[in-house]
Amino acid sequence: MAVMSKSSLEGYLRSRFGSGVRLLSYGVIGKESSKGEQKRYGYGTPVKLTFQVGPRVQSAVLETMKPGPFGHEHMADRAQAMLWDYDSYGRLPRHVKALDVGAFDLNQALFSVAEAREFFVLNEWTEGASYHRDLERLMKGGTLQKLDRQRTVALARYLAQIHAKKRRDPDLYKRRLRELIGHGECIMGLTDSYPARCGFITGELLRTVEEACNRWRWRLRDRANRLSQVHGDFHPYNVLFRTGTDFAVLDRSRGEWGEPADDVTAMTINYLLNSLIRWGKLQGPFEVLFRLFWDSYLETSGDKEVTETAAPFFAFRGLVVASPLWYPNLSIEIRRSLFRFIENVLDSPRFEPERVNEYCGG
């Protein structure tokens, strides 16, 4: 549990930004206060800081990571993630900038990295509304608007743009595929997180999915020419739209380089999920956006091979959204559709966007 006071935060900010810094308010986003008492925050709770440096008032977000089962058990795991965030955020177009990386010591004092106990990353503050709100509006019966289409195209073209940056490193491409299977945040971490008793989702079913994904790893491991700049966790909650199609992205994860299919599937699985919740199949506005995203990405990137590499990444993202841990309120019918989707996509040599309802068994 992180304990923060106005004096400790102000002391840290002065060491980082100069002795004239004055902390104006701090707290959980939306609940900031200027009071000076100590406040306890669970690791993993973002804290917004607003402070004045000379005549300039600015805001930042202090982020930490809580210990957990998804490869974050050890302090070194969490330190690695924070150091990577600070090192990489500024190199991705449109990503918020990391202003500093630091740690808490045994006395809960904040400092820039020496004698670290827990790490945090201080990101710039950016305005915007999470893209999931657009999808939630449509899921609740909202009308598909021109702006919805424009934003979908903008997101697909953004991925095509960042994926155009390539790196030749066969070993790194193999590592990223290996991490897709065995990383604590990825397939095996997810299958291990499913409860022992979860209706039709048995250990045998999860093992079958793992084994199919590992076969895909062997099928893809020599396609090192595909290693590209990626976001790594490109889902609606990590996209903030301001006005029109202007947006920023948050919280890239797990590696600066990877397989482009990871980003494409991370976003498009959410069109499917919301449509299943609303209609039990992919239809209406979500079918339009799903197909539009794929068409726009394929046209802009020219990457026809992405349909040949998508399967294990759709399995990964499908395991996330079908998880009773992350999505406890889904009906058993929706989970069945998602697992049919996972199994059928893994059994197909190439993903075909027009066959989604067939994959889901609809």
**Interval 296-303 mean pLDDT:** 98
**Interval 264-268 mean pLDDT:** 98
**Residue 169: left if φ>0, alpha if ψ -120 to 50, beta else—which one?**
beta
Q: Is the pLDDT of residue 334 over 90?
A: yes
**Interval 153-161 mean pLDDT:** 98
Q: Looking at residue 254, what is its pLDDT?
A: 83
Average the pLDDT over each of 66-75, 145-154, 325-334 and give the range with the smallest value.
66-75
**Interval 13-36 mean pLDDT:** 86
Helix, strand or coil, per DSSP, at residue 120: strand
**Interval 174-187 mean pLDDT:** 94
Q: Is the dihedral of CA 301, 302, 307, 311 positive or negative?
A: negative
Alpha-carbon span 58 to 51, nearest angstrom: 6
Q: Is the pLDDT of residue 70 over 90?
A: no
Higher pLDDT among residues 3 and 207, named by residue: 207
Q: Is the pLDDT of residue 38 over 60?
A: no
Amino acid in the structure at residue 291: R
Q: Considering the chain, what percentage of its residues have pLDDT values greater than 70? A: 95
Task: Report phi then psi at 236, rounded to 5.
Answer: -60, -30
Q: Looking at residue 119, what is its pLDDT?
A: 82
Q: Considering the chain, what percentage of its residues have pLDDT values greater than 90? A: 81
Local confidence band at 45 (pLDDT 50, 70, 90 cut-offs): confident
Amino acid in the structure at residue 141: G
Local confidence band at 39 (pLDDT 50, 70, 90 cut-offs): low
Q: Looking at residue 277, what is its pLDDT?
A: 97
Q: Is the pLDDT of residue 135 over 70?
A: yes
Structure tokens at 239: 């996209």
At the topology level, CATH places domain 129-359 in: Aminoglycoside 3'-phosphotransferase; Chain: A, domain 2 (3.90.1200)
Q: Is the dihedral of CA 137, 143, 149, 150 positive or negative?
A: negative
Q: Which residue's structure tokens are 């202003």?
A: 99
Local confidence band at 133 (pLDDT 50, 70, 90 cut-offs): very high
Q: Is the dihedral of CA 90, 81, 114, 63 positive or negative?
A: positive
Q: Which residue's structure tokens are 């923060």?
A: 4
Q: Looking at residue 77, what is its pLDDT?
A: 84
Local confidence band at 42 (pLDDT 50, 70, 90 cut-offs): low
CB 6 within 8 A of CB 35: yes
Q: Is the pLDDT of residue 37 over 60?
A: no
**Interval 263-272 mean pLDDT:** 98
**Interval 326-346 mean pLDDT:** 97
110 Cβ contact list (under 8 Å, min separation 6) = 4, 8, 9, 11, 12, 102, 103, 104, 120
Mean pLDDT score of the chain, rounded to an integer? 93
